Structure 1
Amino acid sequence: MAPCGQGDCTNPEKALKLKQKAEELFAQEKYDKALETVVKSLEEHPENPLAWQLQGLIQEACGYKNESLASYKEAIVRDNNCEMAYIGMARVHRTRKDFFKAFSILADVTKRNPASTNIRQIILDVLENDNASEWTELFKTQPEIIVMLVQNAGNDIDFKYKMTGVLKNVAVAKPELFQGKALDIINELAKSTDEEIRSTAYVLLVAAYEASPTIIENHKHMLKSGVKDPNNYVQKSTGGILKSMIEYFPNFLAGEEELITQALENPLIAEILLKAMPLCPTCRDQENVYMQKVIEGEKLLRFYCDKCDTRFYRQPGAKTVQLMDKSEQRIKGNIVCPECKMQYLMFSEQDKMYSCSVCRKWYTE
């Protein structure tokens, strides 16, 4: 296939001049004259895809939507890479409110050329002038399209910023998106010197974490950066994730004592984290309650009250705490878990407590 705009023709020079004249008339909004002229150009050179694309554009301006779609298709038949013909078809379907067909066409052409500035412009126009929520639902069917567009946007920061909002909405519904290249986007945006862009990265990180908490295991470096970031929103996002980790996923904090220490040294983050710190069950103090080292592989979260020397623990997601039993006394014989009735309890020498390997409940003697 010859490049777009080339091929055999009857009179190439005359065809080109007629096409240029049609473009001038179109720019002057003399659509009827422009249409007559481009038809003559195609008579001289019927295999020129650019002339077919121009005819589709003029027909579209005249309100001949079916005819314009036919012309755009003729352009694509002659050159499968005639990008503006694809965009023209998508535009016609948009005017008909057939967003699914429009999206399918744009998705196809994006896969062909994800770095296209024309595609970026049409996507922005779509989000600003069409039903944005409906397009977001369509993006959920092919979320990789957003990733491709953002990754190939180069220095187009404005486009990246606007598309990350769509990406966030899509990501919540498609957590599997964060198992792939979208993670690279989060890391890339987080390195930006622009505070708004950096904030967006943490918006996406929160969405990724909420959709699939295990994702944070490979993104603790962002939490460490977020603790020190001067941007308040980044700090709040970081604090929110850490608070959730303390409450529900303490195992992710194994070996991260330095991270917690630095977080508590940040006044804004410390204020958020303190909401996750329980009151001492003995003296009801919170200020002097400290989280103890998280043991890797265990989900139990231990606390120590420096005020009254009380040790206690909390299970992930639980609203209440339980005292650690300091007694060395053992109950003789096997004990069946009173919760699930499926397993004998195992005794932990370190915690002086019993645990069930099935339902993960802990019990004092």
Structure 2
Amino acid sequence: MDSAKSSLIPNAQHVNNGGGSESPMEETVLQTVDGERQRETETREPDVVDGKAADLNIHHKRAEDKHKYSTIGYQRRTKQKVANDFGTLSKGTSAGAKPRTALKQVLFSQGVSDKASEERSQLDGLKQVLEAFSLSEDLRWRWNEESQGTTLETSWTDIVQSHSTMSKMQRHQQEALWEFVYTELTFINKLLIIKDLVIAALVQLHQKGFLQEVTPEQLFSNLPSILEEHQQFWQEVVYPMLQEARKTGKPFDPMRLDPGCLQFHKRFSSYHEYCLKEEDNLEFSRRQMENNLHFSTYVQWVENHPQGDRMRLGDMQAKPHQRITKYPLLLKAVLKHTQDPPVEHTLRGMVRIRYL
């Protein structure tokens, strides 16, 4: 009951006790109060009387809610909402981390770019050193006696005057001896290219700070020593035979090769070391070609050089081994076309020598 109603009741009691009889106003007030009480009673009674019904309604409501929560549709909607909320949260986290990720990518890209720029700069410097490398216009060997023009005639027929009257056997013998002479000088010239172009360019790169990890010995072992031995062999054995034919116009004499071939092991001792390290040198070069851009650039420059005689690096490294194993074949070709018994005997002795 509110304050307005409670204020009316004391006043009504006071009037009734004091006067004995009720006035029309007082009667009206009492009726009003009684009406209020009756309405309040009527309002509360259904809650008391229908208490069991109210409890039953609450029970039904809970059962309906339980059924609703346990349905598949509700559970799907709930899971979908949770998934959406989680996805929204993930997007928020990803969006928040995006600037940091972008910053890492920028820094990483900048590092890679700087490294690539430095590598390009070093590669350009290496190329400049190679392009600036200079050497003689003619790398062919000229020994003391050869001071003019070409070092060797085009054919043995330019030297031997009786070539037109020779038998077929004699001609084949002279051709085999000429091949011995010609291929020996050709081999020396190829070794000169390797020494004066390939090795010298590598040394030039070392002086400028490039390709320090690659040494001439790792590519060609003791090849310069082999070159010196063949130059001496030419001067002391091959050239005297050539010079005698030039002076006399007579056929090449195979007996002039005997002293040099019998002393072969002494004259060419450097081959033992070269052949022993040849496989390691080839493997080292292969790895460098696969993993070292500076080395592959250097090799490409060497192989394309106008004075490189179109040799590949592998060909250069194989030249000594190929030459040393060719001597028995050259001597057998001479022996095959020789009919003079004493000369045959001497040639057989040269062929039997172990050249490797």
Q: Output the TM-score relative to the length of structure 1.
A: 0.19
Higher strand content, 1 or 2: 1
Which of these two proteins has the greater Rg computed from alpha carbons? 2
Q: Output the TM-score relative to the length of structure 2.
A: 0.20
Higher helix content, 1 or 2: 2
Higher relative contact order (CA 8 A, sep 6+): 2
